[in-house]
Amino acid sequence: QVQLVESGGGLVQAGGSLRLSCAASGSLTSIKAMGWYRQAPGKQRELVATITIVGSTNYADSVKGRFTISRDNAKNTMYLQMNSLNPEDTAVYYCNVDRYGRDLWGKGTLVTVSS
């Protein structure tokens, strides 16, 4: 069964950078879009960035200019490069694959940004 596994989270100082990875265990053939979500303590899960099957990207205003979403099809891996991190970015980050309404989710990776 296809699974998504996030990695790359950890503790980083404000102003620092992290790169998150989301690896799929198998091929995905019914993809509309892929993206990263995050959920901060006591907050609702929110969309961070998306990349469609044709490669167009979209970002939440709060991360625009700081985060970059990308993918490597040969490695079945999606990335989120996070720069200029601030404490408000602290959250569990989840990988998502939209299979035309049937979502796949990873278990999440924790990003903690200290001031």
pLDDT tens, position by position, 4-54: 999 999 999 999 999 999 999 877 778 889 999 999 999 999 999 999 988
Identify the pLDDT of residue 31.
87
Identify the pLDDT of residue 92.
98
Identify the pLDDT of residue 58.
98
What percent of the chain clears pLDDT 70, i.e. is strictly above it?
100
| 100, pLDDT greater than 90 | no
Identify the pLDDT of residue 2.
85
- Which residues does 67 contact at the CB level (< 8 Å), separation at least 6? 48, 49, 59, 80, 81, 82, 83
State the DSSP code for 76: T
